[in-house]
Chain A
């Protein structure tokens, strides 16, 4: 297994390096706020440095193969091994996670939400990074589960401590809801292991022996995984934790949640559920597709009913992740590529939207849409950035969002063999109609927030435009949105070979 590359330490370092920062910060007194900021940022940058190293040493010609693999004993008693590896699917997501963490920390240089305490906040962010990075490289189900759960607690505290007025309700709801899904997921993993009689919890082992399970049982196991992943995505109708969590979370929490955490669910479908149980996936696909398109329309309609900018963006995630799930449900390479692109694009775009929402709130102390207006006059740069994100979010070609949306629609015209064409073509038309609704709620939002004259309430307030930490945190995302929009093959080239492997079409 370790023949591809000699750099098999890099993934472990990429995952656990943030812990070094955490330990260092635990030793530093709480009052040294600047030092905490620097240590956290330094750690995140060092981690990103490993990511850049991976970027340069990754063998792009073999993007479909796991690289930098480590396969060693871990918990022998339950046959769980420490297996990590990285292919074309994991690489962009891992890098996204690393970049977002750095940017979130940069943004936090002068944006510490109430009640302060950057030490605790930054430690949580770094812990979160361990979980996120680990999830994207774990190749053993127990290991995956552990990382998947590690993510939960820091976010729970982030919402519960630094959140808005309803933070208690939101954080508990987030916690219980996802925990519920996780329990079923764990159950499915266990059932899978016992039913296949595989040698270990390694994904490769399980995938190789899953066909021995009766189809009915496969369906149930897939169902367990589905609950775990679908809640995390979140798919309609398991999405109601999301608007509350997003609305209540501090800005950095919302950004992390939208940019990375939601991707853990969709990633799970692509990395675990589909390759291990391809037959069950075919049976489940129509239902997943149905829920996905319901989510697209339903999320968009709920957006139209919102009066709060942040809550609106939160609901838009339901719609956007609907496109991702629609792509996945087609079980075709177009669909999965679209889904993966959509995941990264949504991370960049919605992450940016939450940043802008946070900065708007900081300036106006409200996100109630009808009280805002004339942002383009009072803070022109902020207004233009919001405009660009809105356009990216509604899937304008030339910006990243398009490449998650259109190929997903395209793929539903001809889903994988065994799936009903008329059904998926219906999905296609509904999803295409969803793009109009997306334009609807986003442009109405933009019109009311950015156009017109400032509302009398704020007309005489001194509203400062985008500041340096904001520029530093946002510019990479904005550049990413444009560059990936114009040159999508930067990512498709990575995804595609790995997607072929996932679908069992090659190698």
Chain B
């Protein structure tokens, strides 16, 4: 089992690549990109081989071999496995492969860093390395000529390394390491074009918001650490939580704390606001963040430490818990926001938030396998959609992401991008038999079966909305007339039918348009011939949309294939449950109930999705029909639109409320206290002791005392004497001051001792 035992190589290779790129990348012919791509491809191969060996291990266990029951060690102690035949349903127990070396120690206890490889970890490393490889290959062309090309690839490598480290982490502290490294990398990459303040603002926002959630992570890890008898080990923690060796109250507190971190990292309501802003980074970065790293980390944390949450939130009881609730809310509020976006990447960003809501809701409803499966499938189609958006901006819309001013009618100009994007959309919308259908359907069925019917309905509504906003997005991008080309002409003479109808009353049409321009951004190379002027024509020349080169379209096609067929790994009606067999843990996790596939529910959800898509498509084909100008006619619609447009005013609450309060009045008040109250006391004491000193030590040279007075800074104006004393009376002055201090001390001695 070489590749399972040496899984540490998987995160280490990209990490080493990061260091090499930083040190020598600029001097290499490929500017460092070749190092990053070589490393990630090597990791990909290692991941696939590890996956093969894991599957082998599972099959061996199923066949009754002892191979899977082998020993493993954690810090030299071996852990007694749960009785191999316990649980009835699982005939065989497949132990994770755990290795670790000493990382640090305290109180003669040592803490390790290492790998904890099981089905979940294997599934995730495969996804992460696939997506990261494709993203890096895509970036070769997409970022060509960027002024920080080398740093960009260094950042991607470290980002991937951080996620892989988190996935294979043997303990929670190591998980935290990966978690925070990703925070750093998202900061670097979102703010990649930091010359513009909007970009660095977005980077800061991402870092702060997730860092706010991280309060919960720091606290939660500490609680779990002590709850599990002073160990960070994920395996031991899970086992103890599953066996009821940790009190429910401790697990509840830990769950709440950890879940706050999940809310921050995985963009759940109400801390989802950083994710759409994170679109300021280059598009391949968005694909990486949204599909395989960063935001998935939160969901992964829940899946990884599921026994903690399972007991802490009493998930097995079928009651409403914070996780299922937040997940459900997030599905709907994010889907609603996706309807009013004009920036294609923001539509996708909100769809990510919404889909993460499905995962969190699924985990909250006890649908562990389904939720993990959704992480798996979502990665493929979301990466596909983001890279598709990148391809559009690269070759179709003149580096813009504004669907209304720069796109439209791209269907014929960019056929590969179009068809792959359609496949991604169908998968996202959950249409049979695309990948998203299987995982989303599984979540809904399991939620229903586990007693969370309300949330199953929310999921169905979400499916309807998903199909609808994605259809809007596809229509605006690929159908209708091309609205790009000469920017200026379009800005001032927008297609009245579209702009007017879509979301603006006549009164604020101009305003909305300005908004569109302000909020939509572009992936320009920022001042350098980023994408090659020769290939695209100059900025003000006529721009003709065309299909992207193969370096961009081949990753799209690969992802499209995965988005089409990836879901078939777990297609219950066809009798395939490979994903469940390979990934579902058989030890140290609770027993998961599995609902049977339900044709009726599947048909309902697909029909809802189809209906959402068809209705929106028809509306747009008819120029919105009677809905046109609705916000003008109806106050309610107008208010609703404004509410959505302002993102529920959450950003205002955070930025103009909380952050402003801390940054301005609170900080200023503290500093005022510092300067006037505390320092006032200090200066007062200084003044007082000088007074005492003067009274007591009249016999000491007048000049020395003056020096002390002046020096105490109280008589700042007349302090000329100080320098003189500095030069002439050093020793005597020091002596005098020491005496003064000792005198005070003696006084206290007399009084208190």
Contact = CB atoms under 8 A, between A and B. Distances in A.
Contact of B215 (A334, A407, A436): A436
A153 to B, nearest CB: 7
A305 B711 contact: no
A492 B207 contact: no
Interface residues on B, range: 35 or more
Contacts of B593: none
A436 B218 contact: no
A366 interface: no
A458 B386 CA distance: 39
Contacts of A493: 105
A446 to B, nearest CB: 9
A444 B741 CA distance: 41
User: Quick one: which of B102, B194, B708 has the most chain A CB within 10 A?
Assistant: B194
B83 interface: no
Interface residues of A, number: 78
B211 interface: yes
B103 A488 contact: yes
Contact of A429 (B196, B219, B667, B716): B219
Contact of A304 (B218, B226, B667, B713): B667
Contacts, number: 192
A180 B752 CA distance: 17
B274 to A, nearest CB: 13
Given A176-B686, A435-B215, A443 B668 contact: no
Contact of B219 (A176, A186, A428, A500): A428
Contacts of A451: 191, 194-195, 197, 200
Nearest to A490: B104
A413 B250 CA distance: 12
B642 interface: no
Interface stretch (A43-51, A134-142, A166-174): A166-174
Contacts of B222: 409-410, 412-413, 428
Interface stretch (A122-130, A395-403, A464-472): A395-403
Contacts of A505: 107
Contact of B662 (A220, A301, A337): A301
Given A180-B744, A451-B197, A489 B215 contact: no
Given A161-B726, A220-B752, A240 B678 contact: yes
Given A168-B713, A172-B708, A451-B200, A436 B211 contact: yes
A489 B100 CA distance: 14
Interface string B493-534: 000000000000000000000000000000000000000000
A452 B197 contact: yes
Interface stretch (B175-183, B418-426, B449-457, B628-636): B175-183
A168 B208 contact: no
A334 B218 contact: no
Contact of A302 (B177, B211, B674): B674
Contacts of A237: 678
B149 interface: no
A410 B197 contact: no
B722 A172 contact: yes
Interface in B199-234: 200-201, 204, 207-208, 211-212, 214-215, 218-219, 221-223, 225-226
Interface string B674-691: 100011001000100100
Interface string A432-475: 11011101100110010011110000000000000000000000
Contacts of A184: 745, 748
A240 B177 CA distance: 35
B461 to A, nearest CB: 35
B753 A217 contact: yes
B207 A439 contact: yes
A298 interface: yes
Interface string B163-191: 00000000001001101110110010001
Contacts of A413: 219, 222-223, 225-226
B215 A432 contact: yes
Contacts of A443: 187, 204, 207-208
A184 to B, nearest CB: 6
A301 B666 contact: yes
Given A168-B723, A413-B226, A414-B226, A436 B671 contact: no
Contacts of A410: 221-222, 225
Contacts of B737: 175-176, 179
A191 B753 contact: yes
B107 A333 contact: yes
Given A397-B181, A428-B219, A451-B197, A179 B671 contact: no
B86 interface: no
Contacts of A173: 682, 686, 712-713
B653 interface: no
B667 A302 contact: yes
B180 A398 contact: yes
B215 A179 contact: no
A191 B753 CA distance: 8
Contact of B106 (A303, A333, A439, A447): A333
A447 B208 CA distance: 13
A407 B103 CA distance: 13
A447 B200 contact: yes
B535 interface: no
Given A182-B741, A298-B670, A398-B180, A492 B218 contact: no
Nearest to A443: B204
A391 interface: yes
B648 interface: no
Nearest to B752: A220
Interface in A484-507: 487-489, 492-493, 496, 499-500, 505
A338 B241 CA distance: 28
A220 B225 CA distance: 36
A485 to B, nearest CB: 10
B229 to A, nearest CB: 11
A322 interface: no
A301 B738 CA distance: 34
A23 to B, nearest CB: 19
A447 B744 CA distance: 47
Contacts of B181: 396-398
B194 A432 contact: no
Nearest to B737: A179
A489 B671 CA distance: 38
B20 to A, nearest CB: 15
A183 interface: yes
B638 interface: no
Interface in B91-108: 102-108
Nearest to B668: A305
B208 A439 contact: yes
Interface string B720-731: 001100100000
* Shortest Cβ-Cβ A-B pairs, 8 listed: A169-B713, A172-B711, A333-B107, A305-B671, A304-B667, A183-B741, A183-B745, A301-B670
Given A183-B738, A377-B195, A439-B211, 18 more contacts: A168-B711, A169-B711, A172-B712, A176-B712, A183-B745, A187-B746, A187-B749, A220-B752, A220-B753, A305-B667, A333-B107, A376-B194, A397-B177, A397-B180, A398-B181, A432-B218, A436-B215, A452-B197
Interface of A: 153, 157, 160-161, 166, 168-169, 171-173, 175-177, 179-180, 182-184, 186-187, 191, 217, 220, 237, 240-241, 298, 301-306, 332-334, 337, 374, 376-377, 391, 396-398, 402-403, 406-407, 409-410, 412-414, 428-429, 432-433, 435-437, 439-440, 443-444, 447, 450-453, 487-489, 492-493, 496, 499-500, 505
Interface of B: 102-108, 173, 176-177, 179-181, 183-184, 187, 191, 194-197, 200-201, 204, 207-208, 211-212, 214-215, 218-219, 221-223, 225-226, 662-663, 666-668, 670-671, 674, 678-679, 682, 686, 689, 708, 710-713, 716, 719, 722-723, 726, 734, 737-738, 741-742, 744-746, 748-749, 752-753
14 contacts: A168-B722, A172-B712, A173-B682, A173-B686, A191-B749, A304-B667, A337-B106, A396-B184, A433-B215, A436-B208, A439-B208, A440-B208, A451-B200, A493-B105
